[in-house]
Amino acid sequence: MMDPDYLPFHANPSKPEFKAPAGAVDAHCHVFGPADKFPYHPKRKYTPCDAPKEKLFALRDYLGFERNVIVQASCHGTDNAALIDALESAGELARGVAVVDPAITVEELEAMDKAGVRAVRFNFVKRLVDTTPKEVFLSVAEKIKSLGWHIVVYFEAPDLEDLTPFLNQLDTTIVVDHMGRPDVAKGVDHPDFQRFIDLMKNNDKIWTKVSCPERLTLTPPDYSDVVPFAKKLVELFPDRVLWGTDWPHPNMKSHTPDDGKLVDVIPMIAPTEELQQKLLVDNPMRLYWER
Ligand code: 0GY
């Protein structure tokens, strides 16, 4: 049973006004269950509503997107079966980000690669996962290197200072989820967000997803307070940004995000066709499809 205080995804999202360029990629979304086929992990911190691949692919088409990058979420732990199943169904239309146990073998990694996995995710968000020692993450980083995979990291702004030496130690491309989760009440010029900008300025292996206004906003469902943060990153790092819906929005309690309205934020953060092409097509294709 899904957690009672957690909202399910929007049943009837609006049709976006913004028309995504041909080949657009939703580079952050999940599949959950269905639980009777792909049970949730016994040590999960939340139980989501089922969000099966068919619903994700239907949403992709409805929103005018062509491809997905599906990210393993904590509720499935290191059991990537639902993710792999979705990737195998989607073929060239999806790539994946897995969460793996450090004991995983090279053969298992190669099988995941064949299914379309191109990255591993390191989750540092304390409400979602138990702490993993840095050495464990470093051993996984070492294992995935020869496959040409990269690393997706999820943390919250107060943890950035402590994590910076670790991030700079990794020698693959790193993608930071949701802009490192800034506190938007503090504003773009606050030292906390400047620290994130400096991280990207000082390390050109670091990319970020300018996603997740539904979680960062203080004024749901109006996302305008998040726009300056995402816009700034797109402006400064047009070749190292990705965008995603974050569907089915696990752990949402404030409101049910309308995915069409989330798509309509894109022209506010990437105001030119050139920036939209990079954000939605060129960057994700380079990172997840070309090798
Ligand atoms: C997201 C955000 C969240 C959850 C997870 O792995 C997860 O469970 O990433 C969150 O609760 O902020 O990107 O899906």
Cβ–ligand 1 distance for 250 under 6 Å, the answer: yes
Query: Does residue 3 surpass a pLDDT of 80?
Result: no
What pLDDT sits at residue 211? 98
Cβ–ligand 1 distance for 246 under 6 Å, the answer: yes
Mutate to test the pocket of ligand 1, among 130, 181, 251, 254 (most ligand atoms within 8 A of CB): 251
Confidence of residue 2 (pLDDT cuts 50, 70, 90): confident
Query: Does residue 82 surpass a pLDDT of 90?
Result: yes
Which string of b and e fits 204-242 if b means at least 16 CB within 10 Å?
A: ebbbbbbbbbbbbbeebeebebbbbbbbbbbeebbebbb
Q: How far is CA 46 from CA 57, 231, 237, 252, in A?
A: 24, 32, 34, 11
Q: Which atom of ligand 1 approaches the CA of 211 most closely? A: 13
pLDDT in tens, 236-287: 999 999 999 999 999 999 999 999 999 999 999 999 999 999 999 999 999 9
pLDDT in tens, 100-141: 999 999 999 999 999 999 999 999 999 999 999 999 999 999
Catalytic residues: 246
Query: Does residue 6 surpass a pLDDT of 90?
Result: no
Cβ–ligand 1 distance for 173 under 6 Å, the answer: no
Q: Domains of the chain, with CATH numbers?
A: 25-288 (3.20.20.140)
Look at ligand 1, atom 6, and give the residue with the nearest C-alpha: 73
